[in-house]
Copies of this chain bind each other. A is one copy, B any other.
Amino acid sequence: MVAAGIQGLPVVKTENGDAPGPFLIVCEHASNNFPPAFGTLGLGPEARAAHIAWDPGALGVAQRLATNLHAPLVAAGISRLIYDLNRPPHSAGAMAARSETYDIPGNAALTPAERRRRTEAVYLPFHAALHAEIARQLAAGTPPVIVTVHSFTPVWFGKQRDVEFGIIHDADPALARAVLAEAKARTGLDCRLNEPYSVADEVTHTLRLQATPYGLANVMLEIRNDLIADAEAERAMADGLAPVLRAALAAISPKPAEKAAI
């Protein structure tokens, strides 16, 4: 299913829509697509391919995770520089005028009308599609577990980052803590909680908007993008993380005996 915004724009792609779950994979920064309706924002090809425009490798990992976990996937079809789907419409970062060391000329002096146009064309259809997927599963009595998949750049403002796998939570840390424990036990990655970003950096909007109101288990994953630099690496990373997620969910789920006692 492809939901359309203005001019038939593919702002969101849903795959495995009838997959049984319980995981629901989300990839807000999947794409560095700059469709004609928005233009290139004054950026050259190098900037449009850089980590400021999208999360390189995240879509490949998310797709393979969705396959391995038999999970639906909701992924963006447009660059985060046009609208960052993990930010609310009043956030400066939703349509950032500057990202790391790059200026974004096309976002430098946005009018309220243009902010509203992008919100209606990109933000609303994406979150409506994700909300619909969640609501359908809730109606069927199968609450989904929300996993958002991101990547980060190994060098940030000239400084090397050691963390390889970041696990980030919002109000409910349960699944994130379990993922951290399982990832440390099952992978050789340098795993850290709430690094390289945390809730203080306002990176948990999707979790807050879509998971918290329903009390759904949720976690945000951040993978250093040099570890998922080609299709084979993406695949290997997802194949390593799928059992981590399964084990983490099992660890926070009530055992059958406990369920019976409730």
Contacts and interface: CB of A to CB of B under 8 A. Distances in A.
A132 interface: yes
A139 interface: yes
A115 interface: yes
5 contacts: A88-B135, A88-B138, A115-B141, A128-B131, A209-B213
Majority SS of interface residues in chain A?
helix
Contact of A115 (B139, B208, B209): B139
A118 to B, nearest CB: 8
A259 interface: no
Nearest to A115: B139
B88 A115 contact: no
Given A131-B124, A213-B213, A143 B208 contact: no
A213 B138 CA distance: 19
Interface residues of A, number: 28
B131 A116 contact: no
Interface of A: 88-90, 112, 115-116, 118-120, 123-124, 127-128, 131-132, 135-136, 138-141, 143, 205, 208-209, 212-214
A194 to B, nearest CB: 20
Given A212-B213, A213-B208, A213-B209, A140 B115 contact: yes
